[in-house]
């Protein structure tokens, strides 16, 4: 799959999201009482070891450019990973993933607060419907630590996405992924030592599996977005929830209820509509008289 056509890019994103769910499964297979900090340290360490041979010599020369922003962002992502482990080991797979999809909605709100962006009426609808959808899925009577952990994951993902604008230009995504894990190693190691749990082979196996498959997801995303406009294919990202429902049902016997289906639609449908609206606007721009001459 080249990823050079819209169809092949969509297929890459569908496969990539399936790989991300496999990564989640490795986490979910751990016991709820598993050492969370130990897992986080091992996954960050394994990710660094996997990515190190792939970095170019030039990237090593400017490895720590933008160190402060990278350091803050890596620890935000570390917090998100810790919340994700708690959510995935205690909530149904599809429920946790549905709440994770609230990240784009939270990002819209943060963009208004931090960068002063203005939301379109459709974006406002997405924010309201998205937060309402999370409440429908979790339901206030069931808002426990597990649910808050899933929301914490979504919030951390949104903050990390917001900080991308502050990163140095010219750094490859591979470079950013490498620093995300490298700079989180000291804190995650200190937390693992404080946790004091004995090192367990099953945790190492889960960390290796999760790291490998989430890198597979990142590679698919990189290739999927490389040659086509993001607004043409980004809706394919939401197939991850379909994978989560299917795997949760087949592997863990988790049957989604009407609350889950309704809440998921409330989160995802407005986001898909935003993507379709952006695609329509882009097509209109290209169809305007003189557009080709301006682009020449």
Residue length of the chain: 296
Q: What is the pLDDT of residues 198-255, one digit of tens each?
A: 988 889 999 999 999 999 998 888 777 766 666 566 677 888 989 999 999 999 999 9
- Measured between alpha carbons, how far is residue 59 from residues 66, 160, 178 in Å? 13, 21, 11
Q: For residue range 156-205, what is the model confidence (pLDDT) as tens digits?
A: 999 999 998 898 888 888 899 999 999 999 999 999 999 999 988 889 99
pTM above 0.85, yes or no: yes
Q: Classify the phi-psi angles of 289: left when phi > 0, otherwise alpha if psi is within -120 to 50, otherwise beta.
A: beta
* Burial readout 79-96 (b: 16 or more C-beta within 10 A, e: otherwise): bbbbbbbbbbbbbbbbbb
C-beta of residue 77 within 8 angstroms of C-beta of residue 149: no
């Amino acid at each position: 799959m080249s990823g050079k056509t819209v169809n092949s890019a969509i297929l890459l994103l569908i496969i990539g999201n399936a790989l991300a769910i496999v990564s989640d499964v490795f986490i979910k297979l751990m016991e709820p009482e598993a050492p969370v900090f130990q897992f986080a340290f091992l996954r960050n360490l394994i990710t660094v070891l996997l990515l190190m041979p792939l970095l170019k010599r030039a990237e090593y020369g400017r490895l720590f450019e933008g160190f402060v922003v990278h350091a803050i962002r890596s620890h935000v992502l570390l917090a998100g990973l810790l919340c994700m482990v708690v959510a995935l080991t205690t909530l149904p797979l599809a429920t946790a993933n549905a709440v994770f999809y609230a990240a784009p909605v939270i990002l819209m709100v943060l963009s208004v607060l931090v960068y002063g962006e203005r939301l379109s009426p459709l974006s406002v609808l997405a924010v309201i419907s998205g937060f309402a959808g999370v409440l429908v899925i979790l339901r206030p009577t069931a808002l426990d630590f597990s649910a808050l952990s899933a929301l914490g994951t979504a919030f951390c993902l949104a903050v990390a996405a917001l900080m991308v604008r502050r990163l140095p230009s010219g750094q490859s995504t591979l470079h950013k992924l490498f620093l995300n894990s490298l700079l989180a190693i000291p804190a995650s190691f200190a937390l693992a030592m404080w946790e004091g749990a004995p090192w367990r082979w099953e945790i190492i196996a889960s960390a290796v599996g999760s790291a490998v498959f989430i890198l597979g997801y990142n590679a698919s995303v990189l290739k999927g977005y490389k040659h086509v406009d993001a607004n043409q294919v980004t809706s394919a990202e939401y197939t991850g929830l379909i994978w989560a429902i299917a795997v949760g049902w087949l592997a863990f016997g988790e049957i989604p209820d009407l609350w889950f289906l309704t809440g998921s639609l409330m989160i995802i449908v407005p986001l898909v509509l935003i993507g379709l609206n952006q695609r329509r606007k882009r097509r209109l721009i290209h169809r305007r008289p003189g557009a080709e001459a301006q682009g020449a």
